[in-house]
Protein backbone atom coordinates (compact mmCIF):
# COMPACT_ATOMS: atom_id res chain seq x y z
CA UNK A 1 0.00 0.00 0.00
CA UNK A 2 2.84 2.36 0.86
CA UNK A 3 4.30 1.92 -2.65
CA UNK A 4 1.03 3.04 -4.22
CA UNK A 5 0.79 6.16 -2.05
CA UNK A 6 4.35 7.31 -2.64
CA UNK A 7 4.45 6.28 -6.28
CA UNK A 8 7.23 8.00 -8.18
CA UNK A 9 7.32 8.28 -11.93
CA UNK A 10 10.42 7.68 -13.97
CA UNK A 11 12.20 10.81 -15.20
CA UNK A 12 11.08 11.70 -18.68
CA UNK A 13 7.65 10.11 -18.24
CA UNK A 14 4.56 12.24 -18.09
CA UNK A 15 2.49 11.99 -14.95
CA UNK A 16 -0.70 10.11 -15.96
CA UNK A 17 -2.98 12.51 -14.05
CA UNK A 18 -1.47 15.51 -15.79
CA UNK A 19 -1.69 13.71 -19.11
CA UNK A 20 -5.40 13.07 -18.47
CA UNK A 21 -5.90 16.74 -17.64
CA UNK A 22 -4.08 17.83 -20.81
CA UNK A 23 -6.27 15.52 -22.92
CA UNK A 24 -9.34 17.08 -21.30
CA UNK A 25 -8.01 20.59 -21.94
CA UNK A 26 -7.33 19.68 -25.58
CA UNK A 27 -10.95 18.59 -25.95
CA UNK A 28 -12.08 21.91 -24.43
CA UNK A 29 -9.89 23.78 -26.92
CA UNK A 30 -11.57 21.83 -29.72
CA UNK A 31 -15.04 22.56 -28.35
CA UNK A 32 -14.45 26.30 -27.97
CA UNK A 33 -12.68 26.33 -31.33
CA UNK A 34 -15.81 24.81 -32.85
CA UNK A 35 -18.02 27.40 -31.12
CA UNK A 36 -15.92 30.33 -32.32
CA UNK A 37 -15.70 28.83 -35.82
CA UNK A 38 -19.48 28.48 -35.93
CA UNK A 39 -19.72 32.08 -34.73
CA UNK A 40 -17.53 33.23 -37.64
CA UNK A 41 -19.48 31.20 -40.21
CA UNK A 42 -22.85 32.43 -38.92
CA UNK A 43 -21.60 36.02 -38.77
CA UNK A 44 -20.66 35.84 -42.45
CA UNK A 45 -24.19 34.71 -43.34
CA UNK A 46 -25.60 38.13 -42.40
CA UNK A 47 -28.56 39.18 -40.22
CA UNK A 48 -26.11 39.95 -37.44
CA UNK A 49 -27.03 42.34 -34.63
CA UNK A 50 -24.21 44.60 -33.45
CA UNK A 51 -24.30 45.40 -29.74
CA UNK A 52 -21.86 46.88 -27.28
CA UNK A 53 -20.43 44.52 -24.69
CA UNK A 54 -20.88 46.05 -21.21
CA UNK A 55 -17.73 47.26 -19.47
CA UNK A 56 -18.39 44.94 -16.55
CA UNK A 57 -16.84 42.18 -18.68
CA UNK A 58 -13.54 44.11 -18.55
CA UNK A 59 -13.74 44.03 -14.77
CA UNK A 60 -14.50 40.30 -14.78
CA UNK A 61 -11.48 39.74 -17.02
CA UNK A 62 -9.25 41.59 -14.56
CA UNK A 63 -10.72 39.51 -11.72
CA UNK A 64 -9.98 36.18 -13.41
CA UNK A 65 -6.41 37.32 -14.18
CA UNK A 66 -5.96 38.29 -10.52
CA UNK A 67 -7.31 34.90 -9.45
CA UNK A 68 -4.62 33.17 -11.53
CA UNK A 69 -1.97 35.37 -9.92
CA UNK A 70 -3.20 34.60 -6.40
CA UNK A 71 -3.42 30.87 -7.11
CA UNK A 72 0.13 30.85 -8.52
CA UNK A 73 1.31 32.72 -5.41
CA UNK A 74 -0.54 30.23 -3.20
CA UNK A 75 1.27 27.37 -4.91
CA UNK A 76 4.60 29.18 -4.50
CA UNK A 77 4.02 29.63 -0.76
CA UNK A 78 2.85 26.01 -0.50
CA UNK A 79 6.17 24.81 -1.93
CA UNK A 80 8.05 27.21 0.41
CA UNK A 81 6.11 25.76 3.38
CA UNK A 82 4.56 29.10 4.31
CA UNK A 83 1.24 27.73 5.43
CA UNK A 84 -0.55 30.99 6.26
CA UNK A 85 0.10 32.64 2.90
CA UNK A 86 -0.66 29.41 1.05
CA UNK A 87 -4.06 29.04 2.72
CA UNK A 88 -4.94 32.74 2.64
CA UNK A 89 -4.20 33.13 -1.06
CA UNK A 90 -6.13 29.94 -1.81
CA UNK A 91 -9.19 31.47 -0.11
CA UNK A 92 -8.66 34.75 -2.02
CA UNK A 93 -8.49 32.79 -5.29
CA UNK A 94 -11.77 31.06 -4.53
CA UNK A 95 -13.45 34.37 -3.68
CA UNK A 96 -12.13 35.94 -6.90
CA UNK A 97 -13.52 32.95 -8.84
CA UNK A 98 -16.93 33.53 -7.27
CA UNK A 99 -16.54 37.24 -8.04
CA UNK A 100 -15.85 36.43 -11.68
CA UNK A 101 -19.11 34.47 -11.94
CA UNK A 102 -21.07 37.23 -10.19
CA UNK A 103 -19.64 39.84 -12.57
CA UNK A 104 -20.49 37.64 -15.57
CA UNK A 105 -24.05 37.32 -14.30
CA UNK A 106 -24.27 41.09 -13.84
CA UNK A 107 -23.00 41.55 -17.40
CA UNK A 108 -25.64 39.18 -18.77
CA UNK A 109 -28.30 41.14 -16.86
CA UNK A 110 -27.01 44.42 -18.29
CA UNK A 111 -27.27 42.99 -21.81
CA UNK A 112 -30.76 41.71 -21.11
CA UNK A 113 -31.80 45.14 -19.77
CA UNK A 114 -30.53 46.66 -23.05
CA UNK A 115 -32.85 44.34 -24.98
CA UNK A 116 -30.14 41.85 -25.97
CA UNK A 117 -31.57 38.53 -24.88
CA UNK A 118 -30.75 34.98 -25.88
CA UNK A 119 -33.45 34.77 -28.56
CA UNK A 120 -33.21 38.20 -30.20
CA UNK A 121 -30.55 37.38 -32.81
CA UNK A 122 -27.91 34.72 -33.53
CA UNK A 123 -25.20 37.15 -32.40
CA UNK A 124 -26.74 37.36 -28.93
CA UNK A 125 -27.35 33.62 -28.85
CA UNK A 126 -23.70 32.92 -29.62
CA UNK A 127 -22.54 35.48 -27.05
CA UNK A 128 -24.62 33.95 -24.27
CA UNK A 129 -23.85 30.36 -25.28
CA UNK A 130 -20.08 30.91 -25.30
CA UNK A 131 -20.29 32.73 -21.96
CA UNK A 132 -22.50 30.11 -20.33
CA UNK A 133 -20.35 27.18 -21.45
CA UNK A 134 -17.28 28.94 -20.07
CA UNK A 135 -19.14 29.72 -16.84
CA UNK A 136 -20.01 26.02 -16.46
CA UNK A 137 -16.30 25.24 -16.62
CA UNK A 138 -15.57 27.98 -14.08
CA UNK A 139 -17.99 26.18 -11.76
CA UNK A 140 -15.97 22.99 -12.34
CA UNK A 141 -12.81 24.98 -11.54
CA UNK A 142 -14.40 26.32 -8.35
CA UNK A 143 -15.19 22.73 -7.39
CA UNK A 144 -11.51 21.83 -7.71
CA UNK A 145 -10.67 24.89 -5.60
CA UNK A 146 -13.12 23.72 -2.93
CA UNK A 147 -11.34 20.36 -2.83
CA UNK A 148 -7.99 22.16 -2.59
CA UNK A 149 -9.38 24.26 0.29
CA UNK A 150 -10.63 21.14 2.08
CA UNK A 151 -7.16 19.62 1.74
CA UNK A 152 -5.52 22.85 2.91
CA UNK A 153 -7.64 23.19 6.03
CA UNK A 154 -8.20 19.56 7.04
CA UNK A 155 -5.04 17.63 6.16
CA UNK A 156 -1.85 17.90 8.14
CA UNK A 157 0.37 20.45 6.41
CA UNK A 158 3.22 18.80 4.56
CA UNK A 159 4.65 19.23 1.10
CA UNK A 160 4.66 15.82 -0.56
CA UNK A 161 4.96 14.95 -4.22
CA UNK A 162 1.34 13.74 -4.23
CA UNK A 163 0.03 17.01 -2.78
CA UNK A 164 2.21 19.08 -5.11
CA UNK A 165 0.86 17.07 -8.04
CA UNK A 166 -2.76 17.63 -6.95
CA UNK A 167 -2.14 21.34 -6.51
CA UNK A 168 -0.46 21.53 -9.93
CA UNK A 169 -3.54 19.92 -11.51
CA UNK A 170 -5.79 22.58 -9.95
CA UNK A 171 -3.33 25.29 -10.94
CA UNK A 172 -3.09 24.19 -14.56
CA UNK A 173 -6.88 23.85 -14.92
CA UNK A 174 -7.52 27.28 -13.39
CA UNK A 175 -4.85 28.99 -15.51
CA UNK A 176 -6.34 27.34 -18.58
CA UNK A 177 -9.79 28.73 -17.73
CA UNK A 178 -8.28 32.20 -17.31
CA UNK A 179 -6.43 32.09 -20.63
CA UNK A 180 -9.54 30.67 -22.29
CA UNK A 181 -11.65 33.57 -21.03
CA UNK A 182 -9.10 36.13 -22.26
CA UNK A 183 -9.23 34.52 -25.72
CA UNK A 184 -13.04 34.36 -25.73
CA UNK A 185 -13.48 37.92 -24.51
CA UNK A 186 -11.01 39.28 -27.06
CA UNK A 187 -12.72 37.23 -29.78
CA UNK A 188 -16.20 38.45 -28.83
CA UNK A 189 -15.01 42.03 -28.44
CA UNK A 190 -13.13 42.36 -31.72
CA UNK A 191 -14.95 39.97 -34.01
CA UNK A 192 -18.35 41.62 -34.15
Structural domain spans, the chain: 53-190
Residue 13 pLDDT more than 90? no
Residue 5 pLDDT more than 60? no
Q: Domain 53-190, CATH 3.40.50.300 — does that match? A: no
- Tell me if the pTM is above 0.85: yes
Range 108-112 average pLDDT? 94
| Separation of CA 69 from chain center | 13
pLDDT in tens, 139-161: 999 999 999 999 999 999 999 99
* Spatial distance between the Cα atoms of 100 and 63, rounded to a whole number of angstroms: 6
Range 98-103 average pLDDT? 98
pLDDT at 3: 43
- The DSSP secondary-structure symbol of 14 reads P
pLDDT in tens, 38-97: 999 998 888 888 889 999 999 999 999 999 999 999 999 999 999 999 999 999 999 999
User: What is the per-residue burial (b if ≥16 Cβ within 10 Å, else e) of 137-160?
Assistant: bbeebbebbeebeeebeeeeeeee
pLDDT at 2: 41
* Angular region, 158: left φ>0, alpha ψ -120 to 50, beta rest: beta
Amino acid sequence: MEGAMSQQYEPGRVNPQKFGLWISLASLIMMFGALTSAYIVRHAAGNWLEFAIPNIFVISTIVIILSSVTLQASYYFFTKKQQGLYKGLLVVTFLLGIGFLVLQYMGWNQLYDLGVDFKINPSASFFYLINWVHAAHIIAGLTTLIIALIHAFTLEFNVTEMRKNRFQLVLQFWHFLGFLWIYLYAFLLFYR
